[in-house]
Amino acid sequence: MPNVLRAALLLICMVLSGQASAETLNLLIWEAYVDPALLREWSAKTGVDVKQTYYDSGDLRDEMLADAANHVDLVVIGESSGPLFGKRGILEPLTGSTVPALANYVPAWRDRCGGYGVPYLWGTMGILYRSDVVTEKPTSWEDLLLPSSGLRKHVAMYDDHNEAFVPALVYLGQSINTNEKSVLKAAFDLMKRQAPYVLTYEYIMSSIQNPEIGDRLYLALGYSGDQKALNEKLGRPGLWRYAVPREGTLSWLDCLAVMAASPRKALAIDLVNFLSQPKQAAQNAVALRMPVLSTAALALVPPEQRGDPEIYPPQEALAKSQFPTPLSMQSIQVRRRIITAMASFQ
């Protein structure tokens, strides 16, 4: 494990260990990924505080969950990781009897959480761009992988072994879930061509807050919804925009899951059910400017948000989207070696 990742894990475990108490639920989640008003409402009703600990990559989250001493009570987890941890007994099975709000989600969404979570938020991966500098909307992954000379050292990428490969693989017309070494090598070659333009391989939501580089980032790999969080952090509405490239992209789903070993399991399930009710799910989606998953909640979302292409991508973009599936261990090892190598090019 890289020293930076090991240090980050140690820090988070220390923080969570200090937070664990009978009156506190520990939630492991992406930053700016839940409406704080909803957590305050639930805490006011139950008398239980919710402490959020942020991760900024799926790799970091999964390393944490594999640690038996993580002190996590509930987690936002990706659809490909959830069933894997569930089958290992790390996540609690969730059904309609324990989480009645599951009835508001169509089977196709529920099935993608594998029986170990409730569909939380979904979206796409795409290109984030600072509209005052990048004045033309990016339309292709080529705009990120082989940018113009003026963007040299102004790009933020991502060091997750899975999703960092999405732009290159989609641009090459390949499956994002490939286990083929030759295909991964072709993606690596393309990523090496991009490297001189990359300022950081840290997730944009983290790197934008670094005072040494934040104001030098103009183009980034990110997720639908990130643009709102970036603009709120900077206090500049509309500055960062989001685009889905024409070649297609990753269509992702995050699930709310409960840790099987949590001593506060009943409270964690209650919070999951609360956040998954139509009213709360709609409020969360509106606050985050993210697409809602609950069928009943969709009717509560304002029409202008339902018609926003940055939130609900056009059907032609979704038609070319790919879903993540589990990778072979050999593929994961190759991808992680490539990611480590990319850092050396900075």
Q: pLDDT by residue (tens digit) across 29-41?
A: 999 999 999 999 9
- State which amino acid sits at residue 9: L
| Sign of the Cα pseudo-torsion (68, 74, 80, 86, in order) | positive
- Is residue 246 exposed (0-12), middle (13-18) or buried (19+ Cβ within 10 Å)? middle
Place 346 in a pLDDT band, splitting at 50, 70 and 90.
low
What are 75's strand-pairing partners?
28, 257
**Does residue 12 have a pLDDT over 80?**
no
**Does residue 7 have a pLDDT over 50?**
no
Between strands 251-258 and 118-130, the pairing is antiparallel
In the chain, the percentage of residues whose pLDDT exceeds 70 is 93
Task: Give the CATH number of domain 125-250+321-343.
Answer: 3.40.190.10
What pLDDT is attached to residue 224?
92
Q: How far is CA 336 from CA 3, 9, 160, in A?
A: 14, 17, 8
- The DSSP call for residue 196 is G
The overall average pLDDT reported for the chain is: 92
Provide the greatest CA pair distance for the chain. 57
CA dihedral 228, 136, 200, 64 (to 10 degrees): 40
- The DSSP call for residue 257 is E
CA 301 to chain centre: 22
- State which amino acid sits at residue 229: A
What pLDDT is attached to residue 314?
78
89 phi-psi bin (left φ>0, alpha ψ -120 to 50, beta other): left
Six-digit token pair at 174?
């390949």
| Cβ count near 276 (within 10 Å) | 25
- Mean pLDDT calculated for residue range 102-124: 95
Backbone angles phi, psi at 266, to 5 degrees: -65, -40
- Mean pLDDT calculated for residue range 81-100: 95
What pLDDT is attached to residue 264?
96
In the chain, the percentage of residues whose pLDDT exceeds 90 is 84
Q: For 236-291, how does the pLDDT look when each residue is reduced to its tens digit (9 = 90+)?
A: 999 999 999 999 999 999 999 999 999 999 999 999 999 999 999 999 999 999 99
| 125-250+321-343 shares the fold of 3-122+252-313 | yes
Separation CA 278–CA 110 (nearest Å): 15
- Is residue 332 exposed (0-12), middle (13-18) or buried (19+ Cβ within 10 Å)? middle
Q: Alpha helices of 212-264 — where are they, by DSSP H?
A: 226-234
Place 142 in a pLDDT band, splitting at 50, 70 and 90.
very high
Separation CA 12–CA 18 (nearest Å): 10
Q: Which secondary structure element, helix H or strand E, spans residue 329, and what is its range?
A: helix 329-343
What pLDDT is attached to residue 4?
45
Separation CA 138–CA 145 (nearest Å): 11
Domains of the chain, residue spans: 3-122+252-313, 125-250+321-343
Separation CA 55–CA 310 (nearest Å): 24
- Mean pLDDT calculated for residue range 289-316: 90
| Higher per-residue confidence, 228 vs 313 | 228
Q: Are 221 and 243 in contact (CB under 8 A)?
A: no
Domain boundaries 3-122+252-313, CATH class: alpha beta
